[in-house]
Structure 1
C-alpha cells in the first residue's frame, strides 16, 4: 500500500503549505456577516493600503482566477476587441474560451508553459 505524503494545495499548485497556514485553515470559519469578520476585513483592507502605499480606498474582489479574468476582460475591452493571450498553464485554454464567450477576439500564442511567456513571440 502506498502511503501518501504531505498534502499540497493544488490551485494552481502544487504549493507547499506551512504548518502555521495549515493550522489556520483548520480553524472554524467565522460568520461573514458578523462583527468578527468586520474586524478582520478592516484589518486586511488597512494592511493592503500599506502594501500598495495608498491612503485611498482599497477594494477586494472575491473571486477565483476565472473571476479576475472575467472582470479584466469586461472592464477593459469592448465586444469585438482583440486580446493577446499567451499559454502559460493548464487554465489558459479555458481563459481563451471565456474571452470568446464574452465577445472578445483572443489571439492565442501557444508555448511551453513551463518557461513562461516568450517576449519575442509577444512582440511579433
Structure 2
C-alpha cells in the first residue's frame, strides 16, 4: 500500500490546491440521480449557468475531460479528409494535432516556438 504524505493536489493541468470546502463536499453521500432532490439541484445549476453565461437560452453541459471536448469539437465540425491548419504553440497543440490526424483530418501543422 502506498502511503501519501502532505496535502494532495489536483494535477490537471496543475498542480492546483483543492480547497477544504471542496474536499468536504466531495465526501458527502451521492444524491440519487432519479430523485426529486437531484432534479431540483440540476435545475438550479442550469439556471445558474444561464446567469453566469448571460444567456436566456439553454446551457448544455458536456460531461468529459478537456480531451473529450476536443474530440467532440473535431468530430462535430470536421470530416475525414478535411484540411486544417494548426499552429504548434505547445504540448496541447501537438496533442490536438495527433487527435485530428486519428480522425482522418488532413493537418497542416505549422511549427512554432513553445515560448
TM-score interval, smaller chain: 0.7 to 0.9
In the alignment, structure 1 segments of 5+ residues that lack a partner are: 116-124
Shift of 1:88: 3.3
Task: State the number of aligned residues.
Answer: 111
- 1:69–1:95: 8 Å Cα contact kept in structure 2? yes
Deviation, structure 1 residue 55: 0.8
Task: Compare the two structures and name the one with the higher strand fraction.
Answer: 2
The normalised TM-score by structure 1 is 0.74
The corresponding residue for 1:86 is 88
- Counterpart-to-counterpart distance in 2, 1:87 and 1:43: 38
**Alignment partners' CA distance in 1, 2:99 and 2:24:** 36
Alignment pair present for 1:14 and 2:18: no
Q: Secondary structure at the match of 1:21?
A: helix
Is the 8 Å Cα contact of residues 80 and 103 (structure 1) preserved in structure 2?
yes
1:84–1:106: 8 Å Cα contact kept in structure 2?
yes
Consecutive unaligned residues in structure 2, runs of 5 or more: none
Classify the secondary structure of the residue corresponding to 1:84.
strand
Q: How do 1:1-124 residues align onto structure 2 when only pairs under 5 Å count?
A: 4-81=5-82, 82-89=84-91, 91-108=92-109, 109-112=111-114, 115=115
Q: What's the Cα RMSD here?
A: 2.3
Contact 1:85–1:106 (CA<8 Å) still a contact in 2? Answer: no
**Greater shift after overlay, 91-100 or 45-54?**
91-100
TM-score using structure 2 length: 0.79
